[in-house]
Structure 1
Amino acid sequence: MAEPVTPAPAEGGSSAAVHTAGPVPLPGEGGDAPANGKAPSLTPLLMKLRWTITLRRARATLAATIGGAIGVLYALGALAFGGPALITSASVSEIGGAFAPTAVGIGALLVLAWLLAPAVVSGAEDALSPAKFAILGRRGRDLQLPMLIASLISPAIILTALAIGVLGAAQTVMLVRFLAERPAGAISGLVLLLPSLLAGLAICILLPRAIDAFRSTRQSSRRSRELATGLGIIGLLVGMYGFSLISNAIAESPSVIDTIVHYALLVLGVIAWTPLGAPFAIPMDLLEGRYAAAVVRMLIASVTIAVLWLWWRRSLELALTQALQGDSAAKSEKVTALVPRFLRSTPFGASVGRSLKYMRRDARYSMGLLVQPVMVAFMVGMSVMSNNPSMSIFATVVVAWMAGLLIYNDIGMDGPANWVNIVAGIRGRTTLAARAGVSLMWAVPMLIIVTAVIGVLHDLGGYAGVLLLSALGVALSGTGIGVATAAFLPFAAPKPGSMKNSSPMAAWLPTLVSMLVTWLPMLPAMALIGASFAFGQYLAWIGAVIALVLGAVTLWAGIVLGGRQLDRHWPEVAQKVKTFIG
């Protein structure tokens, strides 16, 4: 008899012995195969596994759990306030009014959220990844339904079902109101209301499942998954900032509302013919007598569900096969030189090259670099719309400030890799100068571009130069404080790709130092620039030059003092950060 093979534990920490000759016996069912020859259902096992992993992740990632709980409270609040408003709208709207497009828009937003969810949360891989079940000897079709049922253990799905239920209640009110006036359309709408809403919910549930399974068949690296997460978050920020800009535009000019409503109705009319909005348009189509349109949209919803189901099954089968094949067919990665071409092959050049690779490849750095331009664009846009340069000036300060915040725990980000610096004998001053230089490689060009754009948009004149020199001084000062903080107050950082946060007790002091002490060397310059508004622009130029000089001095002092600290205490510093959190 073949020996049992024990696979590696899943993320939840559970493991099971499986026989190579047959399917896995479920707990409590004994080791013998069923008398009818059928393999036992995996649904109870996967539901228990999903629940266990969910609870363990909630305990391990406390900050993410608190954030999720706050998100759930916001969603419940939106349902509590938006639900009655939507039902009230249905009780007063007329046929052909704004209620039908509103229902389509709400449903489409729900589907769109589930479409974007895999990109936004891809940093945490699916707890029920298909590859982890390859050794069970089951086909994709055997796993599909149990995985679907297990995936329903999710607050997001419950909230989605509640939102669709509220939408259904509002549509019911609308249909009942016109039951006497349009009995055929209202009755047919009531009959097909529940199936259409269930179709919309099914699309919401199947979309992320199919996308996750498909992505598991693509031999993508952690870097590409993190990049997808970053792009998803940026898209979310762009949407939020765009909504804020539109709201401000409406506040400035109420006449803009008519234009926005006109184009919104056109867009929703198109969305109603796509899988995003088709299921939610069916009841109102029937009420309004558009039976042909309702039939076509039923077909769109049905075909979408069938395609997603089959796509998911096909991806499951492929993922199970690839997991057993391993990485033998993986492509070899291109290896590039560590030292950039514009630098000599010295310890400084090697340190710069290492930092550049980290900035580009490590999501803990690249996420901040990707989000920063979006924040700046939003602030500048708000400033232009209000015709007030203060927000744009603050955007410049944020870019300068981030130069130091990006590297204030650079030693901790290296984690166990710090032994390389100790063994190689690289001087602390050299490695800190390289880290500071890489941070400024991003900040300085960004400051020049932002200042030039602001100067043109707000016609700052001579104050554009003052703003640039002052911001450069802040960037230099922040970078100096940042490298000094990294050397004197290092703390363990989250591992690459992890969503876990650092311990507040370890992180609050260096964070506070890096955020606040940056401004202390700038106080004399800030006083002169402030006085220039009363005594003349020449004081602003003097203050800007002083800011640049003080920033350079702070940078030099931070590198020198931090370098001495590392040279004297490298082993102790490395010991503090030798293990990543998570």
Structure 2
Amino acid sequence: MVATILSLRWRTTVQSLRRDWWRLLVVIAGAVWSLSLLPSLVWAERALEMQFPSVRTDALVICGAVLMLGWLLVPLLVTGLDDTLDPARFASFGVDARRIVPGLAVAAFLTVPAMFTMVAMVLLAVSWRDDWPALAVALAGAMLTVAMMILSGRVAVMWAARLLTGRRSRMIAAAAGVAGLAMITPAAFALMRQGLETVLDYDVPTLISALSVTPLGAGLAAPELAAQGRWSQAAWHLALVLGWCLLLLGAWRDSVARALVTPPSRSAGVARRDDRVLGAEEAATVRLARHDSRQGRASAPVRGAARLRSGPIVRAVRSRALTYWMSDPRYLAAGIGALVGPVVMFGVLLPAIGTPRWTVFLMPVAAATSIAWGRHNDVAYDSTALWLDVVSGRLGRHVMRGRVEALLAWAVPVVVAASVAAAWVAHRWDLAIGLTAASLGVLGTTLGISAVLSVWMPYRAPQPGANPFGAEVGSVGAGLAAQLLSSVASVVTAPLVLVPFVLAVAVHPAWSVVATGTGLALGTAGVVLGVRFAGDLYDARSGRLLSAVV
């Protein structure tokens, strides 16, 4: 079965590369980048060989921790580049999970990131070659650690997809994330308040020592124990990593078995909801009939239907999109991803390491940019309702307005809260209003650009109920092009909005008044013009939209 799965994966990969040549470019770029790092790895191995065993062990443990963090986070973002490892694709074969998992595991070790990680860890482990018994332990520990990283990445993807499919699990995950940030922030500030040198001299060694007795660093700390003749402890460290790998393999097999028998969920609940479109149409028709009866004329329901083309349609689309943001795993993953990065980077890490206080002002700006930029493929995410919107008539402006309003309904409060938090951390309440307006301006202009690009350059997105971290086959090239163009446009427009606020920080706080007016004006103009141009383009390209995203 392993050979069959590997052969099937190879044929599927070749066919996908032929059909989507952008995917081939991504693979080649990844391979070239990996090869370009080999000289640096060889130099690092030589440098480690000349260090004391304790220093060598600390460096290896730190390197392993960084790589583990990457294997836990990066697969959540690039799973779609290797969709041949999706267990759900084997559901129609009717094969037991125990027969499929070994083949999938071997295939997971043959990807470009996995092979690069193995080569990197083996090269670093060779730094123990001055002691042959320790070198054997180092190679074994490095390979077990790499296996743990790869299996952790696969389990993280499977569990994250499962967490975002149930309403209760989503609430638990959100609460855990908020609690984690709430604990990390004061802890980081408390540590860095002691000074960076104190943290490096006392806290970092303590952290490395703690990691070396956990599965994360036990395999990389075992060679030093072997070099000291403490073979029982070295064997225990390797057994700890091996046991953790077996536990991860069991968790992955359980997830694969669940994916083989559990169909994707296409609905977030069974609660009955009123139809806002039909309800509004009926109400408008009744009001028109009453008006005509008072005037002594026959009722004209067609006129009532014509009056629907503004408010009720916008409200219906907005209600539909708000439901997505509250229940659809794809939207929830996009929203969480857009907020976690800016908050952790500019709200926790940079202030904690002692950067100037003004850097915290980047947190609401980065959050606004990330939230709005992520909507550059918003039309494709609503592919299941696109056909209904298209055949309903020329409603492009109303559809785009409803979608934009649904995003602004939660994005504006988030950006305002982030701006207030940044002003509080920086102790600059005199700039709070200007920062809020400038951040909202960036949100509006970037959202306008994303609205236009979502119609102009759409690409296929994961379907409702599918893995929210994946990508559809054939969408890699179009996705890269759209993301690149939207990123460039956002980078160009954002500084234009922020110039007055930058002057308020660097020159005089009086510029905050100008930043307030400029931010609100440009943000509003960006939303209005973006909705108008995107709506007109929506009507003009309706047929091509259906073929592009459905």
Pairing 1:221-236 to 2, within 5 Å after superposition: none
Match of 2:43 in 1: 84
- Structure 1 residue 45 and structure 2 residue 4: aligned? yes
Partner deviation per Cα, 1:239-298 (whole Å, 9 max, x = no partner): xx99xx99xx99x99x72453253333233333333333333333212213233123224
Q: Which structure would you say has the larger Rg?
A: 1
Distance in 1 between residues matched to 2:531 and 2:147, nearest whole Å: 57
Match of 1:278 in 2: 218
Match of 1:544 in 2: 516
C-alpha contact (below 8 Å) 2:23/2:81 kept by paired residues: no
Corresponding pairs, count: 494
Which of the residues 172, 187, 192 maps onto 2:129? 172
Pairing 1:403-414 to 2, within 5 Å after superposition: 405-407=373-375, 410-411=378-379, 413-414=381-382
Distance in 1 between residues matched to 2:16 and 2:47, nearest whole Å: 40
Which of the residues 134, 138, 153 maps onto 1:189? 134
Distance in 2 between residues matched to 1:507 and 1:310, nearest whole Å: 39
Match of 2:14 in 1: 55
1:386 alignment partner, SS class: coil
Out of 102-111 and 277-286, give the one that drifted further: 102-111
Distance in 2 between residues matched to 1:532 and 1:108, nearest whole Å: 38
Pairing 1:328-339 to 2, within 5 Å after superposition: 333-336=268-271
Distance 1:363 1:80, change over 3 A: farther
Distance in 2 between residues matched to 1:68 and 1:336, nearest whole Å: 45
Partner deviation per Cα, 1:300-359 (whole Å, 9 max, x = no partner): 24544555566666776x45xx84x6759x898513566799xx9533321111222344
Out of 413-422 and 281-290, give the one that drifted further: 413-422
Distance in 1 between residues matched to 2:48 and 2:487, nearest whole Å: 49
Distance in 2 between residues matched to 1:279 and 1:529, nearest whole Å: 49
Which is bigger in relative contact order (C-alpha 8 A, separation at least 6)?
2
C-alpha contact (below 8 Å) 2:122/2:143 kept by paired residues: no
1:462 alignment partner, SS class: helix
Match of 2:471 in 1: 498
One-letter amino acid matched to 1:459: H
1:334 alignment partner, SS class: coil
Query: Could you tell me the TM-score, scaled by structure 2's length?
Result: 0.69
C-alpha contact (below 8 Å) 1:416/1:577 kept by paired residues: no
Match of 2:237 in 1: 297
Which of the residues 109, 118, 127 maps onto 1:161? 118
Out of 200-209 and 153-162, give the one that drifted further: 200-209
Pairing 1:206-221 to 2, within 5 Å after superposition: none
The answer for unaligned runs of 5 or more in structure 2 is: 281-311, 463-469
Out of 148-157 and 305-314, give the one that drifted further: 305-314
Match of 2:318 in 1: 352
One-letter amino acid matched to 2:471: S
One-letter amino acid matched to 1:541: V
Match of 1:464 in 2: 432
CA shift, 1:53, in A, is: 2.4
Match of 1:386 in 2: 355
C-alpha contact (below 8 Å) 2:155/2:248 kept by paired residues: yes
One-letter amino acid matched to 1:503: A
Match of 2:205 in 1: 265
Distance 1:50 1:450, change over 3 A: same
Distance in 2 between residues matched to 1:168 and 1:152, nearest whole Å: 19
One-letter amino acid matched to 2:520: L
CA shift, 1:577, in A, is: 0.8
Partner deviation per Cα, 1:139-167 (whole Å, 9 max, x = no partner): 65555555544444322332233223213
Percent identity, please.
21
Partner deviation per Cα, 1:96-134 (whole Å, 9 max, x = no partner): x32233334444555665566664555567625556557
The answer for unaligned runs of 5 or more in structure 1 is: 1-41, 177-187
C-alpha contact (below 8 Å) 2:338/2:374 kept by paired residues: no
Which structure features the higher share of helix residues? 2
C-alpha contact (below 8 Å) 2:435/2:501 kept by paired residues: no
Partner deviation per Cα, 1:389-446 (whole Å, 9 max, x = no partner): 2x44454444555675455654455446333224445844433332232232233212
CA shift, 1:51, in A, is: 1.8
Match of 2:294 in 1: none
